[in-house]
Structure 1
Amino acid sequence: MSSTEQTSEESVAVISGRVVTPERVIEGGVRIEGDRIVDVGSVDGDADTVIEADGRLVIPGLIDLHGDDIERHLHPRSGARIALPMALASADRANISAGITTKFHAISFERDDEADRSPELAATLTDAIVGADDLLADHRLHARCEVTQKQCVDAVLDVVANGDPDLVSVMSHVPGKGQFQDVEAFKQYYENANDHTVAEAEEMIEQRTDISMATLRERVDRVVEAAHDAGAVTASHDDEDPAEVERLADSGVDITEYPITLETAERAADVGMTTAMGAPNLVRGESQWGNLSTADAIEAGVVDTLVADYHPPSLLAAAFIDTGEPLPKRVRRVTANPADAAGINDRGCIEAGARADLLLVNREPTPTVARALVAGRPVYRAEREDR
């Protein structure tokens, strides 16, 4: 048993905090027995472990449905690969320190050697994530399928057949579609961001545009059907057209990630899809690609969840961006709402019976995590002691 583990009989009391419940903020604390919350409100210090909140906010642990930051832990520079156990451990600690207690690693099944992506590496990462049993957070797999590449579709179908992913998304990075609204935008991204030569970028354009829409849709339908048969939630990526998002919903896609236009996000809401937008987009105040801003989508009332995308600290920061909404609603976008979207309804809120994933948060000068508990276990502390 590690120093952070506790038996089912052990109790924890978090006292003297400002607790963010699903509907309001209350003065008080949280009592935990084993891995579950048993009481919220007037909690005394009669417990095996007592944590003094000192007036800090107490919020649920964050749930990130789409974070690809593991790639930078594995390859801090292009071509420079770190050992997988070290990469996973550093990603785990980085996410815990950012307040993320349930992490869906968005592993890209895409053939792009210059960007250190391949279906073989994705399968290796899948095995490591699924097999990890010594990490602090709850780590899960979000398999991202590049449907323009048949070998990647086949690779995703293999991991789905194994029952590995909890979330499967379909994407088609095609010039003139999605985040790349024109061929030049596609070429510029792959030349600059992924260190491709002009010739390599042009070859990718030729390969990815030489596939019919009927073929792409058939692959999408096959992946979505297999994922649902395996009990996984499904998502689509960078949807740009209201009619297309309606077709995806009819095919059974549950979540739209980063819709390109407000009209698309509104149609997704109309047909009952969950809409996920990027937290970095909200924190930065704009889309990196000039697409729909998260702030505008929130103002229109069409954002259900936020995701960390490439920057885990933005997920916590996003809950404290003033959108004109009460704090509990903003917190739900990074806790209860993603839990509901992923079908893991035992967490994401502070109420009796919920899994005890909790954060003690300092709001100033920027939102940071002072303490974190996962399934009732204190796993992280970053408090300066006065001497």
Structure 2
Amino acid sequence: MSEQILSNARIVLEDRIIDGSVVIRDGKIASIDEGKSSTGEDFGGDYLIPGLVELHTDHLESHYSPRPGVRWHMTSAIQAHDAQIVTSGITTVFDCLRMGSDEDGGFDKGEMREMADAIQAAERDDRLRAEHLIHLRCEVASDNVLDHFADFENDPHVRLVSLMDHSPGQRQFQTMDQYTLYYKTKRGLTDEQFSRFVESRLSLSQKYSAVHRDALAKVCAERGITVASHDDATLAHVEEAKGHGVKLAEFPTSFEAAEASHKSGMSVLMGAPNVVRGKSHSGNIAARDLAKRGVLDVLSSDYVPLSLLHASFVLADEIDGISLPQAIAMVTSTPARTVSLDDRGRIESGLRADLVRVRRTDGVPVIRSVWREGRRVA
């Protein structure tokens, strides 16, 4: 039997912090003991927290397509992504793969299937240190989203599917000012080009969104895949999400949608970069304001992996009523439970020994070591 002892740590449990030691045996947490110890790896008072569980990150995409029109070697991109994920304390990551493309770009049919195959091959070759699962981001207004989704029909790694519509005048882009900045200004479109672009997006949304939402939600229910809504803005959006069996409300764009989602039993997810920056990059609601109202459940690193742990400490420092254990739960136990991963996310006897050693006296926390199933991976 393989045994390790991590001693003299500040152990962050779900409801409190204790000083003590954790015994790891055969990749699982065997026991948790309070008090000082003279055996094992001495943490010297550093925090010991569960490995972080990341449900929504576009980070892999930035490694694979680092410049417009550039495609990097898939295995190399995956390894670079994995290295940054693990050294940010993330031991379980849901890699977002985009389903559906349009005149604004995206990936060809089969391209994301090839990426998923490359991730699984890298795992078999023991190239990766975090556990990688798949989150399919389905653009329901795209005419080819179901064709792309069909490539994952029998893939057990798909554990989360989000239903999203980035058409103008709703959800993420409730005003045309936001949409114009994001699509016209940043892409350098002329007035005529932008007008055609908006007209096409609205037409596609009207034709396909409802039909594709229904079809995808039905398949997910049959396969036991967790469903997420995306950018809900109104009570009608929340009711629609409830009808589709949604368990995760990603990035709601209004207070009323966030509160209604939380009260209905969905886990409300917001971006950790939003917490660290104190505002949304697209001008929507601030995650800290949802935390103050008690309706923020899960954080996602979105596009900055280290922000996940950083934001947890920001919330514990700056939001009255949120303790460090409660903030850490937003990046560990709550996301794990939301997607039915009940074997991780907490420091508890019998669970996976996915653990992170964190030193933090002030400012940005420093990750000292990471274990996945008892194996030191960073």
TM over 0.5: yes
Q: How far apart, in 1, do the equivalents of 2:273 and 2:31 lie?
A: 34
1:183-222 equivalence runs, <5 A: 183-193=176-186, 195=187, 197-198=189-190, 201-211=194-204, 213=206, 215-222=208-215
1:190–1:124: structure 2 CA closer, same or farther, 3 Å change rule? farther
Q: 1:177 deviation in Å?
A: 1.1
What secondary structure does 2:30 align onto?
Answer: strand
Residue in structure 2 matched with residue 4 of structure 1 by the alignment: none
Q: How far apart, in 1, do the equivalents of 2:213 and 2:197 lie?
A: 20
Q: How far apart, in 2, do the equivalents of 1:335 and 1:30 lie?
A: 18
Contact 1:68–1:309 under 8 Å retained in 2: yes
Q: 1:305 deviation in Å?
A: 0.7
- Counterpart among 282, 288, 294 of residue 295 in structure 1: 288
Report the AA paired with residue 20 of structure 1. Answer: V
1:218–1:116: structure 2 CA closer, same or farther, 3 Å change rule? closer
Report the AA paired with residue 370 of structure 2. Answer: A
Contact 1:287–1:293 under 8 Å retained in 2: yes
Identity %: 34
* RMSD, matched Cα: 1.9
Contact 1:136–1:374 under 8 Å retained in 2: yes
1:345–1:235: structure 2 CA closer, same or farther, 3 Å change rule? same
Summarize deviations over 1:309-361 as a string: whole Å, max 9, x none.
Answer: 11111100011012221110110000000000011010001010110000000
1:375–1:45: structure 2 CA closer, same or farther, 3 Å change rule? farther
- Counterpart among 301, 322, 333 of residue 308 in structure 1: 301
Report whether the alignment pairs 1:226 with 2:226: no
Unaligned segments of structure 1, at least 5 residues:
1-8, 381-387
Contact 1:358–1:372 under 8 Å retained in 2: yes
What secondary structure does 2:377 align onto?
Answer: strand
1:114–1:121: structure 2 CA closer, same or farther, 3 Å change rule? farther
Q: How far apart, in 1, do the equivalents of 2:237 and 2:207 lie?
A: 12
Q: 1:201 deviation in Å?
A: 4.2
Larger CA deviation: 356-365 vs 108-117? 108-117
Q: 1:15 deviation in Å?
A: 0.9
Contact 1:36–1:375 under 8 Å retained in 2: yes
Residue in structure 2 matched with residue 328 of structure 1 by the alignment: 325
Q: Which runs of 4+ in 1 moved over 6 A?
A: none
1:350–1:88: structure 2 CA closer, same or farther, 3 Å change rule? same
Q: 1:212 deviation in Å?
A: 5.8
Residue in structure 2 matched with residue 17 of structure 1 by the alignment: 9
Q: How far apart, in 1, do the equivalents of 2:258 and 2:374 lie?
A: 37
1:1-387 equivalence runs, <5 A: 9-42=1-34, 44=37, 50-111=40-101, 117-133=107-123, 134=126, 135-193=128-186, 195=187, 197-198=189-190, 201-211=194-204, 213=206, 215-321=208-314, 322=317, 323-324=319-320, 325-363=322-360, 364-380=362-378
What secondary structure does 1:150 align onto?
Answer: coil
1:214–1:303: structure 2 CA closer, same or farther, 3 Å change rule? farther
What secondary structure does 2:238 align onto?
Answer: helix
Q: 1:118 deviation in Å?
A: 4.0
What secondary structure does 2:178 align onto?
Answer: helix
Q: How far apart, in 2, do the equivalents of 1:66 and 1:105 lie?
A: 7
Report the AA paired with residue 283 of structure 1. Answer: V
Q: 1:159 deviation in Å?
A: 1.0
Contact 2:100–2:143 under 8 Å retained in 1: no
What secondary structure does 1:320 align onto?
Answer: helix
Q: 1:200 deviation in Å?
A: 5.2
Q: How far apart, in 1, do the equivalents of 2:106 and 2:215 lie?
A: 26
TM-score (norm 1): 0.90
Q: 1:206 deviation in Å?
A: 1.9
1:232–1:45: structure 2 CA closer, same or farther, 3 Å change rule? farther
Q: 1:161 deviation in Å?
A: 4.1
1:114–1:247: structure 2 CA closer, same or farther, 3 Å change rule? closer
